[in-house]
Amino acid sequence: MNNHGSIRYGDTTITYEVIRSERRKKTIHTKVHLDSVRVLAPARTSDQELEDLVQKQAPWILKKRQVLANRPPPKRFVTGDTMPYLGKDHLLVVDTDSFMRPWVRFEDGSFLFDAPPRMDEGERRELISSGFRDWYRQRAEQYLPEQVEYWLPFVASHREPRILIRDQKRRWASCSSDGTLRFNWRVIMLDPELIDYLVVHELTHLTVMNHSPAFWESMRFVMPDAKDRNKRLDQTSLSLPF
């Protein structure tokens, strides 16, 4: 059951679509796109409750739209594009007439990709995109365990945790109750300072499983500028190509 609503915030009107579902039991989720707002809600949620929620979220909605408006255009994966790695953008050079196996190489500060001849632009773009995803994941599998090993003695007295690299759509990293750390492979595109922040954040969860004042106090003890790094992470995430 779908319907629409709108609220005023200052001089701005925010129109939103309501999508109710019997399967959604408790939580209300707001999805912000550049040209639309969708509110996913349990079936019995009242219109007034949703209107009050959107009114409360209005500053966040407008900020999110501004961030989306400033997001760079999608990568074309052609020579001259740049790709991020450890916080820096590196030139991409594509050989479109290569008989070598298609793969991503990183040499002398640039990315090189050997693409088979006679491929149309769409096929080549998908091939290069897939190649980068694989390359980033492989580098994350090498880099992150080293950072966890480095930071562990500063943060927790636990034995080295199990580390998994995953394709997580909505989070950078997580720590489960059994002590397993899961990192998004996209982490490898970030500045090393932000990667260290994520590592310390999840290692801190080995002893404090919530985001209570005690958690942030533990974070600040090891990394005094943790909150600043967290803000930088929020600002960086939407500029990444994947």
Predicted TM-score of the model (pTM): 0.78
- pLDDT at position 119 is 87
DSSP assignment letter at 110: E
- pLDDT at position 70 is 79
- pLDDT at position 159 is 77
Q: CATH 3.30.2010.10 in the chain: give the residue spans.
A: 82-237
The edge-to-edge listing of strands for the beta sheet with 2-9 is 2-9, 12-21, 37-42, 29-32
- pLDDT at position 1 is 58
Alpha-carbon distance values, 89 to 13, 115, 123, 157, 214 (Å): 38, 21, 24, 36, 37
> What would you measure as the largest C-alpha separation in the chain, in angstroms?
63
CB neighbours (10 Å) of residue 61? 20
Amino acid 130 reads S
Distance CA 234, CA 203 (A): 20
Distance CA 82, CA 71 (A): 15
Which residue is listed with tokens 């019997």? 22
The mean pLDDT values, 10 residues at a time, for the chain of 242 residues are 88 96 90 94 94 96 87 89 97 89 93 91 94 98 97 85 91 93 98 98 94 94 95 83 88
Question: For residues 110 and 92, is the Cβ–Cβ distance under 8 A?
Answer: yes
Per-residue model confidence as pLDDT tens digits over 32-57: 998 999 999 999 999 999 999 999 99
- pLDDT at position 97 is 84
User: What fold does the segment set 82-237 form as a domain?
Assistant: Zincin-like (3.30.2010)
**Exposed/middle/buried for residue 53 (C-beta within 10 Å: 0-12, 13-18, 19+):** middle
- pLDDT at position 110 is 98
Beta-carbon contacts of residue 201 (< 8 Å; ≥ 6 apart): 173, 219, 226
Distance CA 120, CA 122 (A): 6
Nearest residue to 192 (alpha-carbon basis) of 132, 153, 236: 236
Distance CA 93, CA 80 (A): 7
